[in-house]
């Protein structure tokens, strides 16, 4: 396997830059550019060109395989983070025939191939790098620490035990088996079934934590929806005017509420109109409102917006700046009711997020649902009696395969290029 290198820290000027070298010749090249590698795995060294010119002084760290991120010999050079130093050092490393520049995600891909991470942990690492809120960080860290892998392995072990008991019965079909294994098999399958159902139920919320919740602000034209959005965003995100129908498309503003990623949607005012473009905006407003996780209605109690209120939705009377004494009134101009709105949205979404599972991607959901479907079939067949145990055993093996696909043991080669393409060169 080639020895690779890349800048592992962010591009541009910084206090410190980290350049990572990984592979069988990492120590050989490291010893050349540093004159000698530090004993004990860390130390200061002068980095020099092959012609003897000083490049920089760096903190040099070494990690012997398999005790590194990639599972290979790794050298990390922590240099001063100027653009000039980074460029000079990268250019020097390119002169070594033993090295080549890493491809996007190649360090992490080697960690997967060398058994340092499984596929769910790789995906969690990508999510951690992309995380913007505390909830996203916590969710990614839980999976990166092996939370989903541990669950999958526990389910797999129980299914293997159940399948082995069934197969023993099949092998001795013509003899009297001293113990009836059916009760233990049923118990094992029920335990896995309960765990899978719970995790599948939490996938949608986990996906929302990863991708962001959507909160739609809806109401008739000119009730102050865009002004409210601007107040919540703290900037002029939407155009406001005294003319009805100003907003004709859905305007999105990303926010962090109570540590959760939330996208606020300012939608076109809901009304009957002969204006073709405004009509398209109203249709989109209704579609996004129906798909949103919760809706904020800016409307009087007797206004009919033809959108059914759901649990968690909230209604405010419009334009508290004109009618400050109106019940539950809100105004983006004066700020009245805005704090109440933020607190309500936060509390609803925090409560929703408490039901999140560890699985947070469509791939996870599909694998878990497929495993659950095979498990359902196995449970039904086991109840039909020993003469159908061979079918039950195959259903169990099918469920096991889907769990193995979840963690990347089998059948995911076609996904790897897509997954690692989202990583930077240094990861």
Q: What secondary structure does DSSP assign to 174-214, as a single string?
A: TS--SS--HHHHHHHHHHHHHHHHHHHHTHHHHHHHHH-EE
The answer to whether 213 is annotated as binding is no
Numbered ranges of CATH 3.40.50.300 in the chain: 119-408
- The Cβ of residue 175 has, within 10 Å, a number of other Cβ atoms equal to 7
- Shortest CA distance to 285 belongs to which of 297, 274, 302, 300? 297
Mean pLDDT, residues 407-425? 71
Which SS3 state, helix, strand or coil, does residue 61 take?
Answer: strand
Per-residue confidence (pLDDT) for residue 44, from 0 to 100: 96
Q: For the CA atoms of 415, 416, 422, 425, what is the dihedral angle to 10 degrees?
A: -170
Question: What angle, rounded to 10 degrees, do the helices at 203-211 and 182-201 form?
Answer: 30
Q: Contact, 76 vs 19, CB < 8 A?
A: yes
Which range is least confidently modeled, 142-146, 183-187, 369-373, 409-413? 409-413
The answer to whether 223 is annotated as binding is yes
**Distances from the Cα of 59 to the Cα of 19, 23, 327, angstroms:** 11, 20, 64
- Give the start-end residues of each E strand in 82-170: 99-101
The answer to whether 266 is annotated as binding is yes
Tell me the sheet residues that pair with 277: none
d(CA 135, CA 422): 21
The answer to whether 243 is annotated as binding is yes
Residue 274 pLDDT > 90 = no
The answer to whether 242 is annotated as binding is yes
The answer to whether 268 is annotated as binding is yes
pTM of the model: 0.82
- Higher per-residue confidence, 308 vs 410: 308
Per-residue confidence (pLDDT) for residue 333, from 0 to 100: 85
d(CA 55, CA 66): 30
Mean pLDDT, residues 173-188? 73
Per-residue confidence (pLDDT) for residue 249, from 0 to 100: 64
The answer to whether 245 is annotated as binding is yes
- Shortest CA distance to 319 belongs to which of 304, 298, 343? 298
DSSP H helix total and E strand total for the chain? 14, 11
Q: Residue 346: CB partners within 8 Å, gap ≥ 6? A: 257, 258, 260
Mean pLDDT, residues 93-111? 93
Residue 37 pLDDT > 90 = yes
C-alpha 158, offset from chain centre:
27
pLDDT in tens, 237-269: 554 444 444 444 678 888 898 899 998 888 777
Residue 49 pLDDT > 70 = yes
Per-residue confidence (pLDDT) for residue 240, from 0 to 100: 47
Burial 364-403 (b: 16+ CB within 10 A, else e): bbebbebbbebbbbbbebbeeebeebebbbbbbebbbbbb
The answer to whether 227 is annotated as binding is yes
* Per-residue confidence band for 273, with pLDDT thresholds at 50, 70 and 90: low
- Higher per-residue confidence, 426 vs 2: 2
- The third-level CATH classification (topology) of the domain covering 119-408 is Rossmann fold (3.40.50)
Numbered ranges of CATH 3.30.1360.120 in the chain: 3-117
Per-residue confidence (pLDDT) for residue 268, from 0 to 100: 72
The answer to whether 225 is annotated as binding is yes
- CATH class of the region 3-117: alpha beta
pLDDT in tens, 329-379: 888 888 888 899 899 999 999 999 999 999 999 999 999 999 999 999 999
Residue 89 pLDDT > 80 = yes
The answer to whether 215 is annotated as binding is no
The answer to whether 241 is annotated as binding is yes
């Amino acid at each position: 396997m080639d020895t690779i290198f890349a800048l592992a820290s962010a591009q541009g000027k910084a206090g410190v830059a980290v350049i990572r070298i990984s592979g069988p010749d990492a120590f050989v090249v490291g010893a050349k550019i540093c004159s000698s590698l530090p004993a004990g795995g860390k130390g200061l060294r002068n980095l020099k060109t092959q012609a003897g010119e000083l490049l920089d002084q760096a903190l040099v760290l070494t990690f012997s395989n398999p005790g590194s991120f990639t599972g290979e010999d790794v050298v990390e050079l922590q240099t001063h983070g100027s653009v000039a130093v980074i460029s000079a050092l990268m250019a020097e490393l390119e002169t070594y025939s033993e090295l080549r520049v890493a491809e996007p995600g190649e360090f992490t891909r080697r960690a997967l191939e060398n058994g340092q991470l499984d596929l769910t942990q790789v995906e969690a690492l990508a999510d951690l790098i992309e995380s913007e809120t505390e909830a996203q960080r916590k969710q990614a860290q839980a999976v990166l620490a092996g939370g989903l892998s541990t669950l999958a392995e526990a389910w797999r072990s129980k299914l293997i035990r159940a399948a082995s008991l069934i197969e023993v019965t099949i092998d001795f079909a013509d003899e009297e088996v001293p113990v009836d294994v059916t009760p233990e098999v049923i118990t094992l399958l029920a335990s896995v079934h309960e765990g899978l159902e719970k995790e599948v139920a939490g996938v949608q919320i986990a996906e929302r934590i990863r991708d962001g919740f959507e909160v739609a602000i809806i109401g008739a034209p000119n009730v102050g929806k865009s002004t409210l959005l601007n107040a919540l965003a703290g900037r002029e995100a939407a155009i406001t005017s005294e003319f009805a129908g100003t907003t004709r498309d859905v305007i999105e503003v990303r926010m962090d509420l109570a540590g959760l990623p939330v996208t606020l949607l300012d939608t076109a005012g809901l009304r009957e109109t002969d204006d073709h473009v405004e009509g398209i905006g109203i249709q989109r407003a209704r579609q996004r409102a129906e798909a949103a996780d919760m809706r904020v209605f800016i409307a009087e109690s007797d206004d009919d917006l033809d959108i059914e209120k759901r649990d968690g939705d909230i209604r405010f009377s419009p334009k508290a700046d004109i009618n400050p004494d109106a019940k539950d009134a809100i105004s983006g101009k004066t700020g009245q009711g805005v704090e109440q709105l933020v607190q309500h949205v936060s509390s609803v979404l925090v409560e929703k997020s408490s039901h999140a599972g560890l699985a947070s991607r469509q791939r996870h959901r599909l694998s878990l649902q497929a495993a659950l479907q095979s498990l359902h079939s196995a449970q039904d067949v086991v109840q039909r009696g020993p003469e159908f145990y061979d079918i039950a055993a195959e259903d169990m093996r099918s469920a096991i395969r889907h769990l193995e696909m979840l963690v990347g043991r089998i059948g995911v080669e076609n996904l790897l290029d897509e997954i690692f393409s989202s990583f930077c060169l240094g990861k």
